[in-house]
Chain A
């Protein structure tokens, strides 16, 4: 019985992990049809920001993770958007390649600034016990963060004026600008928001994983697959695909080992896309958030 609880707990954690690392990418892809291949490095930038602000500047760890990290990455996102991405809107492949270049450049930059080794911070929450098993309390914080992020995206898009304008501009840029909204600004703000979510993911994950210049590779493939499999609807697609992949990969890992778990996730992605060629939300949640 205890083991079952532990399994559920780990599955939930994996879902939360996937949702967190994919949320920023999902916003940017779903709203703007831009795939940011430097996403993994954006996650790292969030991690670095949290670590530097906590370890070097001595700022409270929760403030570092939840405030500083998103702000830093959002600011960086604005710069990247203004200097590179805004010239490439509507050219999906070109944005992918330019952001791939950005990713390489950021890896080089991290190495220059922080050195080639990894850095980290200590998890601020200790463990607890379920029956015979010890579990990480910090995992609960991760799960809560993921839920918070999803609610935030949903709330902003659905209930705020900014969200409405953003959705409008994405659906028909011409119409939005005819109504007097500056679409270029809308794009910039959306990209910044996506970057902030990515930075948040980096911040809260920093205590669990090591942050080093080349660690972005760990995130990009998973986030990319999760987002594309989810399809174009930001919220429902994100929930559906991270739920699906989280369950598949963790259950397979439990039943066999983590190699098969990893391969299981990938095979599941191929089958899923074969059956639903426009992602989960392209089939089931069309025209919803």
Chain B
């Protein structure tokens, strides 16, 4: 990535950061920024590493729980903040090593990751009793953990970072993570990773240790997801086992698909747009257009949108828009070829496509 690209990304991000709050509530924006980071983590692992992780929620939930438990025990936020990156990354490294050194791939890998997050889900739900304590913190079971200390200015546990400031903080963290991921993809490691996605055997025959690289990529994604969990915990001020659940696990994949797998910006946009859509679907305006009894189920709308997307825009929003812009710029003649070429590329970008 060149200095100019970094600069332009930062400028665009800064403008967005200050313009968005004019139109949207900052708590929404903070939540969506955390979602976006979570989507970025899967966008990296899946879209670039070719690892279809169905249980990215495992690391996300772990990040949130590690943060809350540490914060309650230490009374301050920052050790928890860093542990919420490190422990999920470590967990992902162990899980990844187990899977990649066992040559697990494809749907089998998807199932194992899904099952791991379901195990955490079941376990956390089971921890309502008094015996489930870590230090001073109760695990809380189904009801989750409320009331943990939230982020504050380092050194002063009373000076909380909240509201607008928490939004700025979350947004800046998101941008930094994005830049870091971009940088990583531009490095030799990232190039080999992409090559590996395209043809694992070839990379292996070239003498690279595929398993170690996949494990490292998976751990990096786990760390990002853990950080996202920590940021979400700070916005919501309560965490529940739902963070590990099947519903969210599927939703992340939907964010990535709708935004566009094989890009980094796409999954982030997908997360924010769908997060907002979900928010809007519960509002009165939407509920009452269709009459008082509200026959319009939020789930029905959400499901239909998803089906339509897969059928008509299978590559996601960002690649389609990019294509469309490219076509507009090129004028007639060129676009068709370029779109066909891109399509095959994007399809290759999808594992098992």
Contact = CB atoms under 8 A, between A and B. Distances in A.
Q: Within 8 Å by CB, do A and B touch in the complex?
A: yes
Nearest to A224: B111
B306 A101 contact: yes
Contact of A221 (B103, B246, B299, B311): B246
B197 interface: no
Contacts of B122: 259, 262-263, 266
A273 B311 CA distance: 32
Interface in A80-114: 84, 87-88, 90-94, 97-98, 100-109, 111-112
Contact of A112 (B105, B123, B297, B298): B297
A32 interface: no
A98 B307 CA distance: 5
Given A97-B310, A100-B250, A107 B111 contact: no
Interface size class of B (residues with CB under 8 A): 35 or more
Q: Interface centre among B52, B303, B352, by most A CB within 10 Å? A: B303
Interface string A252-274: 00000001001100110110011
Nearest to A220: B246
A217 B246 contact: yes
Nearest to A265: B115
Contact of A277 (B105, B123, B254, B353): B105
A121 interface: no
A120 interface: no
Interface in B292-311: 295, 297-307, 309-311
Nearest to A38: B303
B310 A101 contact: yes
A259 B121 CA distance: 11
A53 interface: no
A35 B254 CA distance: 16
Interface string A174-207: 0000000000000000000000000000000000
A18 interface: no
B53 interface: no
A104 B251 CA distance: 11
B191 interface: no
Contacts of A274: 98-99, 102, 104, 112
Nearest to B121: A266
Contact of A107 (B104, B114, B299): B299
Given A107-B297, A266-B122, A274-B112, A100 B102 contact: no
B257 A97 contact: yes
A47 interface: no
A258 B103 CA distance: 32
A88 B112 contact: no
B112 A93 contact: no
Given A84-B307, A98-B310, A102-B307, A108 B115 contact: no
B52 A101 contact: no
B130 to A, nearest CB: 16
Given A266-B118, A274-B102, A274-B104, A94 B111 contact: no
Contacts of B254: 97, 100
Interface of A: 35, 37, 84, 87-88, 90-94, 97-98, 100-109, 111-112, 217, 221, 224-225, 228-229, 259, 262-263, 266-267, 269-270, 273-275, 277-279
Interface of B: 52, 98-99, 102-105, 107-108, 110-112, 114-116, 118-119, 122-123, 126, 246, 250, 253-254, 257, 295, 297-307, 309-311, 314, 347, 350-353
Given A112-B300, A274-B104, 12 more contacts: A84-B307, A88-B311, A93-B52, A98-B307, A102-B303, A104-B302, A111-B299, A111-B300, A217-B246, A262-B122, A266-B122, A269-B112
